[in-house]
Amino acid sequence: MERLLEIKDLYVEYQTDDARVFAVNGINLKVGKGETLGLVGETGAGKTTTALSIMRLLPEKVGKIKGGTIILNGKDVTAATEADMRLLRGETVSMIFQDPMTSLNPVLTVGDQIAEVLDLHKKYRNKEEVESRVDEILKMVGLPPERKNDYPHQFSGGMKQRIVIAIALACEPLLLLADEPTTALDVTIQAQVLALMDELKQNLNTAMILITHDLGVVAKSCDRVAIMYAGEIIETGTVEQIFSGDHHHPYTVGLFESIPDLKKKTRRLHPIDGLMPDPTDLPEGCKFHTRCPQCMDICKNKIPSPMEKEGHVICCHLYNETTD
Ligand code: SF4
């Protein structure tokens, strides 16, 4: 598969008045054209920071890419100028943010908000062409074009998310970053929005990074999965490799064990004990060692190196040949 995105050894930090937050700590990721990668992990694992780094939309002066490269469609995003980024955003990469309620402008009609993106990239020659493309995009996401003159507050939550998707896909980007696109929606609308995203992805051959903590969504919509913990990718593989097979990172095992199984009679769920480490003061060695039921001495002071088998990568001393 032709490569669209390659992240190499990416480090991102946030510097606040009194702390240095180590948000992303040396991650490597690849996404092929038309491929969907699920980026999974608890809140605070660094998923959104990774996406914001690809868009180069980290909070100004606070968030900084400290090392590594992000090659998107042959261009190094970390070295691109702001003018280059304005062209890349929308046309090459686009993002759907978590909450549709806050990502739309309340004082502009939805038609104007879609037209704004098209105008910015000057893809259409005149107002009529822009208007007809706005109608087309609204139809594509299942909304009647007549509603283009309505304001965001006149739409339901699910419809608002469709509009956000419409804006993100307006310029038919090669890569879509969807950050928990269904978290703020109820279950039936969630299913509709995911089905819509799948359909649009097929039609436009858009690659996608789907950020979620919902493994059900990953199983349904993704080709490959990367599991993040404390700013690191601790396991990656195809959906089959992650959802089956005997070898997994203990954190991945914990994630699966914490999902309720309707076929089994259980009194209690099995959450992963403890909390994610403080990102301003990360532990030495394996970042998961403070919560890992299989922790060994070596885990407390040596960072495990990745072990790869047929594209399935696990970072854990249990699988490192060099452990003993
Ligand atoms: Fe557990 Fe050690 Fe593996 Fe980390 S490296 S996940 S502490 S066994």
Q: Which residues pair with 69 in a beta bridge?
A: 8
Ligand 1 pocket, residues with Cβ under 6 angstroms = 249-250, 286, 288-289, 292, 294-296, 299, 304, 316-318
Q: What is the 3-state secondary structure (H, E, C) of 270-317?
A: CCCCCCCCCCCCCCCCCCCCCCCCCCCHHHHCCCCCEEEECCEEEECH
Mean pLDDT of 139-143: 87
pLDDT bin (cut points 50, 70, 90) of residue 265 is: confident
Q: What percent of the chain has pLDDT over 70?
A: 97
The long-range contacts involving 130-134, CB below 8 angstroms and separated by at least 24 positions, are 133/170
The least confident of 71-80, 200-209, 293-302 is 200-209
Indicate if the pLDDT at residue 207 is higher than 70.
Answer: yes
More confident residue, 196 or 41: 41
Looking at residue 220, what is its pLDDT? 86
More confident residue, 194 or 9: 9
Rounded distance from Cα 257 to ligand 1 centre (Å):
17
Q: Which atom of ligand 1 is nearest to the CA of 250?
A: 6
Structure tokens, 311: 């594209």
Looking at residue 78, what is its pLDDT? 95
Query: Would you tell me the crossing angle of helices 110-120 and 82-91 to the nearest 10 degrees?
Result: 130
Rounded distance from Cα 292 to ligand 1 centre (Å):
6
Looking at residue 324, what is its pLDDT? 41
Q: Which atom of ligand 1 is nearest to the CA of 295?
A: 7
Q: Which atom of ligand 1 is nearest to the CA of 299?
A: 2
Structure tokens, 81: 């100028």
Q: Which atom of ligand 1 is nearest to the CA of 289?
A: 7
Indicate if the pLDDT at residue 199 is higher than 80.
Answer: yes
Mean pLDDT of 274-299: 94
pTM score, whole prediction: 0.90
State the Cα–Cα distance between residues 311 and 4, nearest whole angstrom: 17
Output the CA torsion sign for 32, 122, 211, 222.
Answer: negative
Q: Given 3-state DSSP classes, what are the helix, strand and coil percentages for the chain, each rounded to the nearest 5?
A: 35, 25, 40
Mutate which of 229, 286, 314, 323 for ligand 1? The one with the most ligand atoms within 8 Å of its CB, which is 286
Rounded distance from Cα 294 to ligand 1 centre (Å):
6
| Cα–Cα separations (whole angstroms), residue 146 to 11, 189, 193 | 46, 22, 21
Mean pLDDT of 228-246: 94
Backbone angles phi, psi at 106, to 5 degrees: -70, -15
| Of 249, 223, 225, residue with least CA distance to 314 | 249
Indicate if the pLDDT at residue 162 is higher than 60.
Answer: yes
Pairing of strands 63-72, 75-76: antiparallel
Mean pLDDT of the residues in the chain: 90
Residue 319: partners with Cβ closer than 8 Å, 6 or more residues away: 247, 307
Pairing of strands 36-40, 207-212: parallel
pLDDT bin (cut points 50, 70, 90) of residue 142 is: confident
Q: How do residues 62-100 score in pLDDT, each as one tens digit?
A: 999 999 999 999 999 999 999 999 889 988 999 998 777
Rounded distance from Cα 177 to ligand 1 centre (Å):
30
Structure tokens, 211: 């950020």
Write down the architecture of domain 3-92+173-319 according to CATH: 3-Layer(aba) Sandwich (3.40)
Choose the most confident range, by mean pLDDT, from 112-126, 204-218, 251-265. Answer: 204-218
Looking at residue 191, what is its pLDDT? 81
State the Cα–Cα distance between residues 145 and 296, nearest whole angstrom: 60
Indicate if the pLDDT at residue 252 is higher than 60.
Answer: yes
| Cα–Cα separations (whole angstroms), residue 65 to 15, 202, 234 | 11, 32, 20
The least confident of 48-52, 120-124, 130-134, 285-289 is 120-124
Looking at residue 323, what is its pLDDT? 43
| Domain boundary assignment for the chain | 3-92+173-319
pLDDT bin (cut points 50, 70, 90) of residue 321 is: low
Core vs surface per residue 165-175: b (16+ CB within 10 A) or e:
bbbbbbbbbbb
